[in-house]
Amino acid sequence: MSEQSPHRENSDVQSPHRELGLTDHEFELICEKMGREPNGVELAMFSLLWSEHCAYKHSRKLLKNLPTEGPRVVMGPGENAGAVDIGNGYSVAFKVESHNHPSAVEPFQGAATGVGGILRDVIALGARPIALLDSLRFGEPDTERTHYLVDGVVRGIGHYGNSMGIPTVGGEIYFEPPYEQNPLVNAMCVGLARTDEMVRAAAAGAGNKVVLFGSLTGRDGIGGASVLASAELDEGDDAKRPTVQIGDPFEESKLLECCQELLAEDLLVSLQDLGAAGLTSSAGEMASAGGTGIDIDVGLVPLREADMEPFEIMVSESQERMLAVVEPSKVDAVLALCTKWQTASAVIGEVTDSGTFRILKNGETVGEIEVEDLVDGCPLYDLEPEEPAEWTYPNRETIAADAAVLNIPESDRAIAVAIDGNGRRVACDPFQGTVEATLECAANLATVGAEPLGVTNCLNFGNPEKPGVAWQLGRAVEGLAAACRALEAPVVGGNVSLYNETPQGPIYPTPVVGMVGELPDPTRVAGRPWQDGDAIALIGPFDPSLAGSELEKQRGQLSKGLPAHEIAPIKDAISLVRDAVRTGAVRTATDVSDGGVVTALAELAISSGIGCEAGLDPVIARRECDPEDALFGEGPGGFILAGDKAELEKLGGQGVDFELIGQVTGNEVIAAAGESRVEILVDEARAAFESLEERIESDQAGLTH
């Protein structure tokens, strides 16, 4: 079903469905489908599965345009996470998701449970998590609210990941005023699984039992997906803290090991984690995926609080819980393994062939909804996009990592993972900015010799009911689709986070792209440090411009539009750099991104402790750009390579722009372009780079909102 996006009704008297985030039109449609008004249990369930967070009702039609198939894809969109084949019987599972609004309201638990949720998405496929990445956005680093949010978010991420022994291997962090009240906390998990032991989420087999295991069910997180995650933030959102879940990484550690053994023993038909909307979404989506019905008896659910109502049990978002479909003959073995791992478990229902989701309490029906109506019946809205005349946004600072490399001995190779996004450039040009973010991920993989296998994404935008945001979202998805097709990197899963907006305005449109790539030889990885005497080359169709650049930001400007770039020549440069790293022809490789060539040179000098001298007149001559553009301009397609001069020169003449621009030497970074010149001591550059940590430290962290 498709129709125009309705604007949310305003009324001094809030009806129950409005309080739960449903519009009048949606409530009328529910009554029409059911032939009656829903009772309290049913209304709560509809409000969650018809929320933006669960139904993607403003974005699902756009997402259908993304490429999702490829020869290495094992699991794609629709599963808990995506997975790609890396050979020798193994697959890598990965996904990125947001926990933006919970982190704005309660930063520690919001971030911690965001990590816990993305871990369970990967665990639910039968994979063991091996690494985390994060993409974070906050306001300016000097404000008290930023201190409070950074402190809580960083502690929450570290607490959960470290407690489970899963390292954070990469990520990025931006500081810009549009994220002051509405931070972005996007977490990505990568896991490893034997391909033949992976499991899907679809329920199957009428008569099979439904087993809930993990933590006890409590009242934490009730309404998180609808009341908190699917609406704009406002001044009164501190009152929504009870909708934020409470995480327990130690319980999740037991849950992980329990799931691994259950799957290794072939005891499960299907497996699903309980995240947003709790039992309602997990059971409903399992039934929908399998084309079955399902009965759940809330009287059988192990509870943390004995007096919980049926609707509370069905929509609780208590963490560290999993739902499994189990053949009757294997139920005792499943419960025994849960007992072994000291995790609560109970048979709470049964798969049926009715096509109906029935909720019972001690055998008595308290709710009954057709699965199709609940899961797939939500109206999908046509957006009303309109390109805005202008955007008024403030400024930013950023720290971003290149790709992280993980050795996978089981497959005799390594993988590389990267996560990238630049909301400011997307604000300038949603299509081109999203193309650039995708190419940036592929470029980061190339600098360590990796080739893309698959993509996950998190689309963070404002209110899609507003024409300007709708236009941004549509153009960004078009850009993501175009770049992924050109790179032959299928999108295997992701997340959409909308309504990232406060009374002060929307966030920058921020599509975050996560990418997994493969290295055939883990011993051939270009390191960041260069060595005294190395030659330096600039390679690729780099056409620097100050539009959307860090320098433009420092001047308080925001361009409307970015220079258009053909993807094919950039892809050729990515391939050439990747091959050069794999053959050992270069010692050091990094792409040119935020801050332009000078910043890339300074970052390499900081990591190596050795300076350089570079002349950018060849860039000016080839690109016909201004000296300032050559020094600080940004754009996709540029790489800085360092190593033996003779080896570097072999890369010239292969159809990709190539210039030798300097040499590694001394204790200064010196870059000249025409009559413009930049000189800075390496120690001074390092001190400036590291000063950001000091700027976000505060004795008042956690004490002010």
For 435-462, what is each residue's pLDDT tens digit?
Answer: 999 999 999 999 999 999 999 999 999 9
Q: Please check the confidence at residue 204 and state whether its pLDDT lies above 50.
A: yes
Judge whether 513 and 419 are in contact, CB under 8 Å: yes
The fraction of the chain above a pLDDT of 90, given in percent, is: 81
Is 96 inside a domain boundary?
Answer: no
C-beta separation of 573 from 537 below 8 A: no
User: How confident is the model at residue 701, as a pLDDT?
Assistant: 41
pLDDT at 396: 46
Asked if residue 499 has pLDDT above 50, the reply is: yes
Question: Per the domain annotation, does 448 fall within a domain?
Answer: yes
Q: Are residues 474 and 534 in the same domain?
A: no
For residues 472 and 505, what is the distance between their CA atoms, to the nearest angstrom?
A: 15
**pLDDT at residue 1 above 70?**
no
Q: Measured over all CA atoms, what is the biggest interatomic distance in the chain, rounded to whole angstroms?
A: 83
Say if residue 266 is exposed, middle or buried (CB neighbours under 10 Å; 0-12, 13-18, 19+): exposed
C-beta of residue 365 within 8 angstroms of C-beta of residue 359: yes
HEC profile of 347-367: EEEEEECCCEEEEEECCEEEE
Tell whether 42 and 167 lie within a shared domain.
no
Average pLDDT, the chain: 91
227 pLDDT band (50/70/90 cuts)?
Answer: low
Q: Name the DSSP class of 224.
A: I
Residues 520 and 532 occupy one common structural domain: no
Within-domain flag for 609:
yes
**CA–CA distance, 659 with 649 (Å, rounded to integer):** 9
Using 50, 70 and 90 to split pLDDT, how confident is the model at 3? Answer: low
Confidence tier at 705 by pLDDT (50, 70, 90): very low
Domain boundary, last residue among 380, 397, 427 = 380
Which residue in the block uniquely carries the two structure tokens 């190539």? Answer: 658
Q: Residues 531, 619: one domain?
A: yes
Instruction: Tell me the pLDDT tens digit for each residue of 313-348.
Output: 999 999 999 999 999 999 999 999 999 999 999 999
Query: 191 in a domain, yes or no?
Result: no
- Statement to judge: residues 239 and 339 lie in one domain: yes
Place of tokens 């560290």: 320
3-state SS class at 21: coil
Domain boundary among 357, 380, 403: 380
Q: Are residues 586 and 490 both part of a single domain?
A: no
Q: Are residues 533 and 609 in the same domain?
A: yes
Q: How far apart are CA 134 and CA 148, in angstroms?
A: 18
What is the mean predicted confidence (pLDDT) over 67-96? 96
Please report the pLDDT score of residue 271 as a whole number.
97
Give the 3-state DSSP-derived string for 437-476, with helices as H, strands as E and coil as C.
HHHHHHHHHHCCCCEEEEEEEEEECCCCCCHHHHHHHHHH
- Do 449 and 473 sit in the same domain of this protein? yes
Q: The CATH number of the domain where 69 resides is what?
A: 3.30.1330.10
SS3 assignment, position 79: strand
pLDDT in tens, 140-156: 988 999 999 999 999 99
How far is Cα 90 from Cα 408, in angstroms, rounded to an integer? 10
Whole-number pLDDT of residue 703? 40
> DSSP letters along 664-675, please?
E-SSEEEEEETT
**What pLDDT, in 10s, does the model give residues 36-77?**
999 999 999 999 999 998 999 999 999 999 999 999 999 999
Is residue 466 included in any domain, yes or no? yes
What SS3 state is found at 602? helix
Q: Tell whether 431 and 362 lie within a shared domain.
A: no
Taking only the tens place, the pLDDT of each residue in 501-535 is: 998 889 999 999 999 999 988 777 876 789 999 99
Note the pLDDT of residue 299.
97
CA 497, CA 83: separation in Å to the nearest integer? 22
pLDDT beyond 80 at 13: no
Report the C-alpha gap between 460 and 96 in whole angstroms: 12
pLDDT the model gives residue 692 = 76
In a domain, 184, yes or no: no
pLDDT score for 702: 39
Instruction: Clarify whether residues 288 and 414 are in a common domain.
Output: no
Measured between alpha carbons, how far is residue 622 from residues 185, 535, 617 in Å? 40, 20, 9
Residue whose entry in the numeric block shows the structure tokens 């980061």: 444
Q: What is the CA radius of gyration of the chain?
A: 26
pLDDT class of 700 with cuts at 50, 70, 90: very low
Record the pTM: 0.93
Question: Based on the structure, what is the number of domains in the chain?
Answer: 3
**302/351 same-domain check:** yes
**The pLDDT value given to residue 12:** 46
The pLDDT score that the predictor gives to residue 411 is 86
Backbone angles phi, psi at 668, to 5 degrees: -130, 155
Closest CA to 176 of 634, 495, 505: 505
171 has pLDDT over 80: yes
As given in the structure block, the two tokens for residue 677 are 């010149």
- Residues paired with 294 in a beta bridge: 351, 357
Residues 470-491 have a mean pLDDT of: 98
Q: Give the pLDDT confidence score for residue 663 in this predicted structure.
A: 97
Domain boundary among 345, 380, 415: 380
Rounded to the nearest 10 degrees, the angle between the axes of helix 144-163 and helix 249-264 is 40
Identify whether residues 232 and 376 lie together within a single domain.
yes
Contact present, 258 and 251 (Cβ < 8 Å): no
Residues whose CB is less than 8 angstroms from the CB of residue 227 and which lie 6 or more positions away in sequence, other chains included: 20, 21, 240, 243
Helix (H, G, I), strand (E, B) or coil at 431: helix
More confident residue, 702 or 528: 528
Residue 414 lies in a domain: yes
Angle, CA 664 vertex, CA 659 and CA 670 arms, to 5°: 80
Active site residues: 53, 99
Predicted confidence band of residue 8 (pLDDT cuts 50, 70, 90): low
Residue 187 within a domain: no
d(CA 655, CA 640): 17
List the CATH number of the domain containing 326.
3.90.650.10
Element spanning 45, H or E: helix 40-49
Instruction: Please give the residue range of the domain that contains residue 290.
Output: 1-8+18-50+199-380
> What's residue 410's pLDDT?
87
For 410-423, write each residue's pLDDT tens digit. Answer: 888 899 999 999 99
